[in-house]
Chain A
């Protein structure tokens, strides 16, 4: 079978995984770009979302309700990080790491002390599953994931336009100025972290259904994927998409591109022992591109100046 046709076959799966991780990446965008906080809680809250969702569905709860509960659990995790940071004066990175560490034990408790809980699509009415990703039917997870992504972006677009949302953006942009305007920056940081981790947990809940199980290690390295998606989206669409909603959309596309690149690399027959190296290199390249680009522009700009002088 030719490489291209098998790649085309693999695309729906990569796109679905990318869309699910994209919701998580939008959560990372809120903390990393809007709030200007590096929040490492996500490695734990992604698994929390998966764990809560899987356990509730196994317990016979409606999958939609399970998704909502997963999101609330994630917001709770964000609240803890926020309180560590604002009320206990712990630096944001450390507060995130602490919560992430604590979440390992909590996730185990949620999953009934088991490291892996299966959730079979044959047994429960799951909203989405990898099994139907190549089928042309209502079961296909892609439309649902697209609707989720669109709904999340629309809700955030509306929220960041409200007074509260604007004050949250101000908190990230210039905390001193925001405080001078009478904005309670601490409560805004907590709110931002809750919002972000709620989305991350929602993504974890979708992923757990998609891959048919929740795993204690499923969030490991999530922050890297999230940042990669944010940065890939910015590098490629930074100049094209000025609108806030489109910027969030770019993050989601960034996650899809990340998974497609990963899939291409795997399809090319890479020795998978090098997988982590490739992941790091993909992220590093996309991180470096804006820097190289700015250097290149400076050079060309200078060259132009010189050129006009000579002329």
Chain B
């Protein structure tokens, strides 16, 4: 009886191990494909761990920009390990734990939960955040002055919210009611929406929040927003970005235009946006990383960096809704 148990136990362990090794084998190849310009092993001087929250166009672009800029600045000297938490914040802790135990030279945290997990895990290894909207909110810093200090810095995807509020009145001077459409599960959306509402009310424009919880109730929440509003504002919001078709299907028949916080949403269902490029944002982060690795800059003194926003409009949506684009805006390319 005893030997049987041992045999079956050994068999089950062997199975799990072979399973994970087998799958890891497949994984390795793709991981290498991701890392463009994989350096030769003997010239590697630095190891950088990238923890990305979820598979998503904007976050993927930021990671890619980071990798490209870092490889350009320090060609062949950096080994970049990218890990994706698949949308599960508990996985961020596991991934970051791996980085800390490998004693990587720098951690790049892509999105807010990745950053908080990294901040909880280490006080010594430099951490650069990207795709973070508000560092003061994400890291719970009172009186945030633009520099985090300690071992944390990074880049922010916050577009100028006052400029976005101005954009609403420039495009639609007649608008009296603005619906603020966003997902309640996203840390940064509420912040943007509240800021925009503040600027709007200073202009004497009424606004109301319409939050959906996930993909399933986007259409019905959008419908009630359309019933209320003359114009809708959608901030930088991942769930909204994944559901632009559903939003457009409600808003186009209702004839309600959308001013969007980022290009992806504008391309799908918006009229105009002040857009930042996540690739550029990642690239800016990559350049910061290179300076930290070579010792050229001290992370505790590096302020949070931004990238410039470009005003853009959605040509086909303007045509559908009969809106003439304003000067100074460029059309979004397909």
| Interface residues of A, Cβ cutoff 8 Å to B | 1, 6-7, 9-11, 13-14, 17, 58, 104-105, 108, 113-123, 129-131, 133-134, 207, 210-213, 215-218, 220-221, 235-236, 239, 259, 261-278, 281-282, 285-286, 289, 292-293, 296-297, 300
Q: Are B23 and A114 in contact (CB under 8 A)?
A: no
Q: In the complex, A276 Cα to B34 Cα: how many Å? A: 19
Find the residue from A121, A236, A268, A281 having the highest chain B CB count within 10 A.
Answer: A268
Known: A216-B185, A274-B27. A207 touches B90 (CB 8 A): yes
Which residue from B94, B190, B191 sits with its C-beta under 8 Å from A262?
B94
Which of B113-121, B256-264, B284-292, B323-331 lies at the interface with chain A? B113-121
The 8 Å CB contact of B16, one of A117, A218, A282, is A282
CB <8 Å contact, B97 and A130 = yes
What is the chain B residue whose CB lies nearest that of A272?
A: B84
| CB-defined contacts of B86 to chain A, threshold 8 Å | 272-273, 275-276
Across the interface, which residues of B come within 8 angstroms of A207, CB to CB?
90
Q: With A121-B120, A220-B88, A221-B88 as known contacts, state yes or no: A114 contacts B187, CB within 8 Å.
A: yes
Given contacts A207-B90, A235-B12, A272-B95, contact A116 B102 (CB under 8 A): no
Q: Does B176 contact A (CB under 8 A)?
A: no
Complex-state Cα separation, A118 to B21, whole angstroms: 36
A269 near B186: Cβ-Cβ < 8 Å: no
The binding surface of chain A is classed by DSSP as: helix
The residues of B that contact A116 with a CB separation of less than 8 Å are 112-113, 116, 138, 187
Which of A10, A130, A236, A278 has most chain B Cβ within 10 Å?
A130
Nearest residue in B to A13 (C-beta to C-beta)? Answer: B97
The answer to whether A115 touches B184 (Cβ under 8 A) is yes
A301 smallest CB distance to B (angstroms): 10
The chain A residue with its CB closest to the CB of B194 is A113
With contacts A114-B187, A121-B120, A300-B4 known, is A218 near B89, CB below 8 A? yes
Interchain CA distance A122-B122 in the complex, whole Å? 11
The A-B contact count (CB < 8 A) is 189
Cβ-defined contact, A269 with B28, below 8 A:
yes
User: Which residues of chain A are near B123, meaning CB under 8 Å?
Assistant: 131
B101 sits at the interface (CB 8 A): yes
Q: Contact check: which of B20, B120, B141 meets A131 at CB < 8 Å?
A: B120
Q: Which of B112-151 contact A (CB under 8 A)?
A: 112-113, 116-117, 119-123, 137-141, 150
Give the interface of B toward A (CB within 8 A): 4-5, 8-9, 12, 15-16, 19-21, 23-24, 26-28, 30-31, 34, 55, 81-98, 100-103, 112-113, 116-117, 119-123, 137-141, 150, 184-187, 189-191, 213
- Name the contact of B97 in the complex, choosing from A10, A118, A213, A273 (C-beta under 8 A): A10
When the two chains form the complex, which single residue of A131, A218, A266 contacts B94, counting CB atoms closer than 8 Å?
A266
Task: List residues of chain B with CB within 8 A of the CB of A1.
Answer: 102-103
Question: Chain A residues near B141 (CB, 8 Å)?
Answer: 120
Q: What are 17 pairs between A and B in contact, CB < 8 Å? A: A1-B102, A17-B90, A114-B190, A116-B112, A121-B120, A130-B93, A134-B100, A212-B116, A213-B113, A220-B88, A259-B94, A265-B20, A265-B24, A270-B28, A274-B23, A274-B26, A285-B16
Verify B185–A278 contact, CB threshold 8 A: no
**B78 to A: closest C-beta gap in Å:** 16
Which among A6, A236, A262 is the interface contact of B101 at CB below 8 angstroms?
A6
- Listed from nearest, the 5 A-B pairs whose CB atoms lie closest are A212-B120, A9-B101, A13-B97, A271-B27, A116-B187
CB closest chain-A residue, reference B95? A266
Closest to B5 in A: A239
With A131-B120, A134-B100, A266-B98 as known contacts, state yes or no: A113 contacts B84, CB within 8 Å: no
A41 to B98, CA, bound (A): 31
Query: B190: which of A14, A113, A217, A275 is its contact (CB, 8 Å)?
Result: A113
Candidates B55, B94, B191; contact of A273 at CB < 8 Å = B55
Whose C-beta in chain B lies nearest to the C-beta of A129?
B120
Q: Are B119 and A10 in contact (CB under 8 A)?
A: no
Residues of B within 8 A of A129 (CB): 120
Looking at the assembled complex, report how far the CB atom of A264 sits from the nearest CB atom of chain B, in whole angstroms.
7
Given the complex of chains A and B, what is the CA–CA distance between A303 and B168 in angstroms? 80
Q: Which residues of A contact B9 (CB under 8 A)?
A: 236
Of A14, A119, A131, A293, the contact of B140 (CB 8 Å cutoff): A119
A251 → chain B closest CB, angstroms: 18
Give the shortest distance, in Å, between B24 (CB) and chain A (any CB).
4
Q: A9-B102, A211-B116, A272-B85 are in contact. Are A285 and B90 (CB under 8 A)?
A: no
- Point out the residues of chain A lying under 8 angstroms from B96, CB to CB: 130
Nearest chain A residue, comparing its CB with the CB of B52: A272
Structural contact, A118 and B87, CB atoms closer than 8 A: no
Q: Are A270 and B187 in contact (CB under 8 A)?
A: no
CB < 8 Å neighbour of A130 from B5, B8, B120: B120
* A7 CA / B110 CA spacing, docked (Å): 24
A267: which of B98, B121, B140 is its contact (CB, 8 Å)? B98
Query: What separation, in Å, do the CA atoms of A272 and B8 have in the docked complex?
Result: 30
Q: Whose C-beta in chain A lies nearest to the C-beta of B120?
A: A212
Q: B221 to chain A: closest CB distance in Å?
A: 13
How far, in angstroms, from A130 to B185 measured CA to CA in the complex?
A: 24
The answer on a CB contact under 8 Å between B24 and A269 is yes
Q: Which B residues are CB-close (under 8 A) to A235?
A: 12
- State the CA gap A37–B200 with chains docked (Å): 51
Are A131 and B190 in touch, CB under 8 angstroms? no
Q: How long is the Cα–Cα vector from A108 to B186 in the complex, in angstroms?
A: 11
